[in-house]
Amino acid sequence: MYINNNLRNEFEGKIGERYKIIRNCRYGNNLNVYKVHKVVNNRLRIPYVLKHYNKREAFEIESQMLEMLKDVKNIMQMIDIYPQQSIIICECALYDLETFFGHQDYSQRHKEKDEIVKVN
């Protein structure tokens, strides 16, 4: 399945310039979750999770919660926030990857793991 890999088609401004969609994980009507890479000097870098909320209330609740949990060990950290677009950028932790895998079929999971796990 081909996914549109350009956030500029999804989001305008700084978000579309800074992050490139790697995959789109659909979580219902109220939340869109994307695995993204930050673009630095036209090269892809560290993976992140971009959460785009359709309901302002859900965005407010999660952003406040993540702000309270800032710097707490073993908790996914909020990296950046875009209140006008109801978007939160978070670390892409192992838990998040496992969540992504849980919403994929067998072949999608193994393809994704092959791209993440590097054997030296």
pLDDT at position 83: 92
pLDDT tens for each residue of 41-94: 877 677 888 888 888 998 999 899 888 888 887 677 888 899 988 999 988 765
Is residue 3 predicted with pLDDT exceeding 70?
no
Q: Which of 36, 49, 40 is nearest to 8 (CA)?
A: 36
The Cα–Cα gap between 5 and 76 comes to: 24
Return the bridge partners of 81, or none.
88
pLDDT at position 34: 85
pLDDT at position 19: 86
pLDDT at position 110: 64
pLDDT at position 108: 67
Do the beta carbons of residue 17 and residue 8 sit within 8 Å?
yes
Is residue 33 predicted with pLDDT exceeding 70?
yes
CATH 3.30.390.30 fits 7-116, yes or no: no
Which residue do the tokens 């990857």 mark? 97
pTM: 0.64
Round the average pLDDT of the chain to a whole number and report it: 74
Do the beta carbons of residue 100 and residue 112 sit within 8 Å?
yes
Q: What's phi and psi for 76, nearest 5 deg?
A: -60, 130
